[in-house]
Chain A
Amino acid sequence: VKATIAVHGGAGSLGYFVNEEHRQRYLNGLVNAVRAGLEAAKRGNALDMVVEAVTSMELDGSYDAGKGSVLNLYGEVEQDAGVMWGKDLSVGAVASVKHVINAIRLARLVMERTDHVLITGEGAEELARQFGLWVPSTELINESKINRYKSLLRNLRSRYEKNTDLARRLGLLG
């Protein structure tokens, strides 16, 4: 069997792209991810292949993951990630983690260094600290994200129905 890998950068609309340069960077990042996965195949297994490929895209900044993650209603980054090994159905996953870029590597740590499948929030943050994956928010939140967040917040009512009422209660809609 020849090592084979496929990747995606998310499904959605062309409106996600700020401009054609962003779209090209996004497509080039997919090639880099496939190459990272095939490079990992030389020394490792399928788990190494998918973790290296996703890591490549998390560090890229062109995707809604890792460095490029979008902001939640409070203007924070919250990431989720999961990884699965087909040989014995091992799973490792994290959810609602704020201070990582390489969320998939944290998910793999859950699989390999804990007795659990899914760890969220503060527990996942502590794992990130233990294994050197914790980063300050300043590495995840930049001015262009904040500007996009503010412009979308003004249109929140056109995006979410129920959340709009909640956001109004929180005074987030001005």
Chain B
Amino acid sequence: TVGAVALDRDGNLAAATSTGGTILKWPGRVGDSPLPGAGYWAENGVCAVSATGIGEFIIRAMASFRVAMLIKGGIKVSDAVKQVVNYVTSLFGPGNIGLIAIDSLGNVASAFNTEVMGRAWGREGMDKVIVAHFPGD
């Protein structure tokens, strides 16, 4: 699975997620990636989110929409993604979700309960792109 979240110069937010799904999945199985509220969410003035992991759990938790509602309630984007990952971990155990998000001010955040998640971000005017893979990066 791959995903992107973006804020443009006019303050609009957008999110996108795309996947080949899980290997050996049952034909016709659909995971979280195409489902708004699960695999992605974008709402001006709130945030944009993209999710990855085991789709069945991300759908049941409506993970992306859950992040947006926390932010709408005043939680910082970095805390919101952590809280949702912790919630999913408490329900289904570790190893099944990763989130990236951006808020309406351009703050970016990520959280995950898997071994690794490749993630990167950049901003107009910034010299370099920031890349990370391991939790501590």
Contacts and interface: CB of A to CB of B under 8 A. Distances in A.
Taking residues whose C-beta sits less than 8 angstroms from the other chain, chain A's interface range is 35 or more
A128 interface: no
A124 B19 CA distance: 15
Given A1-B10, A81-B19, A87-B12, A71 B24 contact: yes
B16 A81 contact: yes
The SS class assigned to the A binding surface is mixed
A85 B48 CA distance: 9
Interface in B26-81: 26-31, 33-36, 39-46, 48, 50, 52-53
Interface of A: 1-14, 23, 26-27, 30-31, 33-35, 37-38, 41, 44-47, 49-51, 53-54, 57-58, 63-66, 68-74, 76-87, 89, 91, 93-96, 103-104, 107, 117-118, 120-121, 148-149, 152-153, 156, 159-160, 163, 166
A-B pairs, 3 with minimum CB distance: A69-B20, A11-B98, A86-B13
Given A9-B118, A57-B18, A73-B25, 16 more contacts: A4-B102, A7-B5, A8-B98, A34-B121, A41-B8, A45-B12, A54-B17, A63-B2, A69-B20, A72-B25, A72-B27, A81-B33, A83-B15, A85-B42, A86-B15, A149-B24
Interface of B: 1-31, 33-36, 39-46, 48, 50, 52-53, 95, 97-98, 100-102, 105-106, 108, 110, 112, 114-125, 129, 131, 133
